[in-house]
Amino acid sequence: MRLANKIAVVTGAGSGMGKAAAMLFAREGARVAAADINEAQVKETAAEIGAAGGHAIAIRADVSKSEDARRMIDETVAKFGPPNIVYNNAGIEGDSNYVANMTEEQFDRVIAINLRGVFLGMKYALPHMVKAGGGSIINQASIAGMVAIKGGAAYSASKAGVIALTRVAALEYGRYNIRVNAICPGAIETPMAQRIRKGEPPKQHALNRISVFGRMAEADEIAKVALFLASDDASFATGAPFVIDGGWTIS
């Protein structure tokens, strides 16, 4: 198993890409601290991991709040030990609005969860990872951090910030054998995508047309990239945005 004896923290683990990654990490031998703001959903994720023979705890956490982020890491350390892997996946799409029409509240909410949440996840995990002798941090960015999307000022700004933050952390902590990378997904079939479609069938929505494959990715396809970055197979990869977009940025 590729993550045997590893301890992994996964945020946004109640659904979508976070849940897929938490399940996959557990199947590959990791003990998983699954965190999400939705307590019922993340308890379900942990229960499914346990039912499959894995080891997991569920932590209710709002990643945008310092006290929650600190407690998330502290509970992981108390239950399993220092994390070897941190997947800062939690995020929201926020409200779509042109820049001049976007309220400060709309902008700040997205930045707080998508960008500050990643910062806090790293801030509280890094000291433990340094003491443990290394590890892998995976931050969820997006193609939206590289290309412009109308109405997505806050979302794009937050994801571009995640890419920059990832590079800085990789530069600062490489000396401690800590790798820090970002995943930049394109259109993925998740609850977020379902909200964006507003009931429109997947095959009829424009999200499918931005992939050269004519489809959206499944959450498991992103989880497999996260597994690679979490594992020793990615031992020389750090500071990089891994683009997994079905060809969005080449069309």
Supply the residues annotated as catalytic. Answer: 155
- Which H or E run contains 9? strand 7-11
What is the C-alpha separation between 21 and 14, in angstroms, rounded? 10
Give the three-state DSSP class for 32: strand
The Cα angle at residue 133 between residues 71 and 11, in degrees rounded to 5: 35
Token output for 211: 């992939």
Cβ partners under 8 Å of residue 217, min gap 6: 185, 186, 187, 188, 189, 211, 244, 246
Give the three-state DSSP class for 6: coil
